[in-house]
Amino acid sequence: MSNQLGKAGLGLVRTWHHVDLSNENRTLGRIASQIAIALIGKHKPITHETEDAGDYVVVSNCQYLKVTGKKLTDKTYWSHTTRPGSGEATPMEKIIRDFGYGEVLKRAVSRMLPKNRYRKQRLERLKVFDGSNHPYASNIIAWADQHPLVEKAAKESIIREKQLNEFNELMKQKKL
């Protein structure tokens, strides 16, 4: 049995993902579910419910958020203080007016996360901006819609590395 761990440590690294809603065709719920998966870390090979292995997610251009049907006028967010008669319904329009589209996205993602002790930490890793400018541009590694391109580039680099190793072996044997 080997003592080598291999590249399992790469699964524990928190990467930064960027979602630009100006180019997005998906609606609020579909985007929120994908963001929740990235915050939890379910896309990684080492996920476990007792560990928080999620990534950072930066969402820009939230003013382009798409909502289907009459949700802007009909959707209400309920809150209460557990005291009788303290229930309060706030329409989505008022939340957008007061806090912006980013708050609507944060609430959708929050309700898709598991209700456990990691929920607050995961939500802190979600960075939401109504405009296109944000201070995390240098941290972003991959865009959310470029995942197949990243995988393709990784495979190509592995192939190039194998070719280079074969060439070095031939050079050592002076067959080339």
Annotate 11-49 with b (16+ C-beta within 10 A) or e (fewer).
eeeeebbbbebeebeeebeebbebbbbbbbbeebeeeee
What pLDDT score was predicted for residue 15? 86
Annotate 87-116 with b (16+ C-beta within 10 A) or e (fewer).
eeeeebeebbeeebbbbbbbbbbbebbeee
What pLDDT score was predicted for residue 52? 86
- In which band, very low, low, confident or very high, does the pLDDT at 161 lie, cut at 50, 70 and 90? confident
What pLDDT score was predicted for residue 142? 63
Rounded mean pLDDT, 117-143: 89
**157 vs 71, which has greater pLDDT?**
71
Per-residue pLDDT of 63-74, as tens digits, reads 999 999 999 999
Q: Tell me the pTM.
A: 0.75
What pLDDT score was predicted for residue 168? 85
Phi, psi dihedral angles at 122 (to 5 degrees)? -65, -40
Average pLDDT, the chain: 86
Indicate if the pLDDT at residue 157 is higher than 70.
yes
Lowest mean pLDDT among 59-63, 80-84, 146-150, 156-160: 146-150
Percent pLDDT > 90 in the chain is 51
